[in-house]
Amino acid sequence: MPKSPYNIVFNRPSMAGNELEYITDAVSEAHISGDGLYSRRCQTTLQELLGVPKVLLTTSCTHALEMAALLLDIQAGDEVILPSFTFVSTANAFVLRGARPVFCDIRPDTLNIDETQIENLITPRTKALVPVHYAGVGCEMDSILSLANQYNLAVVEDNAHGLFGKYKGQFLGTFGSLATQSFHETKNITCGEGGAILINKASLIERAEIIREKGTNRSRFFRGEIDKYTWVDLGSSYLPSDILGAYLYAQLEHWQEIQARRKNIWETYDSALREWAAANHIQTPYIPEECEQAFHMYYLLLPDLNARTALIEHLKSRGIMGVFHYQPLHLSKIGQMFGGLPGDCPVSESASDRLLRLPFYNSLEPDQQELVTKALVEFHVA
Ligand SMILES: Cc1ncc(COP(=O)(O)O)c(C=O)c1O
């Protein structure tokens, strides 16, 4: 394999403690399919920590979003409003059901959906709003929920980045009738590939269990509530193996240490870089007063694409990997098929060109982080 040019990569998953022990236990107990002991432990832990009526692990956040679209009975021709500056799955999950994604621009400060622009996009076909808590910083949920109430729309929070973040003292993921989490390798808490759907509206719980179990009432059968199970609804296979549940539970056991470690990394970047950033017209993350962030990411917004390209090269020359993020969805091939045009979401377009994410992972050592900050402050925007 060719030698990597990077000494400090962008992301590196790390174990928190009992991962291998719990996997061995799941294997020796001979329950490695879904909803075994460890998956159930993850689900109850998250329910208790977040105060959510029901949490179901899924194979990814993408699949949790697909479940949300099925649960909301999204049909051909329905419209779903979401930010253009997000991962493809936020849109794809609804497009798979035949919906039309309606792209909203983002706020220039938090890079979250611009709540002041949502109302203009609502039509009689709008069925749902899908805010994304970018970098684990809460969207303006008061405004979003009030619009949802006024127009009778469902809210699905894409909380892929935001586990344990809060808005006005309440956990992200507990505002919408549904919310989705990611446990992908890049996330604070991970099992490689994984996710969860948070069901805050109790009337959706039973159907969620069915959709996740191939459209059958197998969950009720396993609980002994019925004597055989059968096909009762649409569905697919959205539940992860308990091997992943075992890995994830070992991480969740240490969630407070993981969050404290990440807070430290985030704050170290912020204090080391603020002055340099201001002098170079580089924007650093803004955390509104009402938000407690999830410490998922530290990013910089360079003045323009050229400056970002130069900074990526500068970091690379020091063996450090800095990476950009989403391409605006309205300008993607599929986004354009839905009518997306340059200029529709100017803030998303600009952020996409200018954003750079810094190495950020639980085991990033202080001396490595110092190499990153030192390399950064030696860079000057031309
Ligand atoms: C906002 C957002 N939603 C959804 C996803 C998809 O997550 P997963 O990889 O768990 O499917 C991502 C990926 O990181 C994301 O950034």
| 273-314 confidence digits (pLDDT tens) | 999 999 999 999 999 999 999 999 999 999 999 999 999 999
Residue 134 Cα to ligand 1 midpoint, Å, equals 11
Residue 105 and residue 346 in contact, taking contact as beta carbons nearer than 8 Å: yes
Which residue is closest in CA terms to ligand 1's atom 7?
Answer: 61
Write the single-letter amino acid at 60. Answer: S
pLDDT score at 3? 78
- Give the three-class secondary structure for 184: strand
Residue 72 Cα to ligand 1 midpoint, Å, equals 20
> For ligand 1, what atom is nearest to the CA of residue 60?
10
Residue 122 Cα to ligand 1 midpoint, Å, equals 25
pLDDT(32) > 90: yes
DSSP 89-142: HHHHHHHTTTPEEEEE-B-TTT-SB-GGGHHHH--TTEEEE--B-GGG----HH
Distance of CA 70 to the CA centre of its chain: 19
Average pLDDT, the chain: 97
Q: Which residue is it, tokens 């924007």?
A: 283
> For ligand 1, what atom is nearest to the CA of residue 63?
11
Write out pLDDT tens, residues 214-255: 999 998 988 899 989 999 999 999 999 999 999 999 999 999
Average pLDDT over residues 98-116: 98
Residue 190 Cα to ligand 1 midpoint, Å, equals 12
Cβ burial 360-379 (10 Å sphere, 16+ → b, else e): bbbebeeeebebbbebbeeb
Residue 88 Cα to ligand 1 midpoint, Å, equals 8
Question: Ligand 1: residues whose CB is within 6 Å?
Answer: 60-62, 86-87, 89-90, 132, 158, 160, 182, 184, 195
pTM passes above 0.95:
yes
> For ligand 1, what atom is nearest to the CA of residue 65?
4
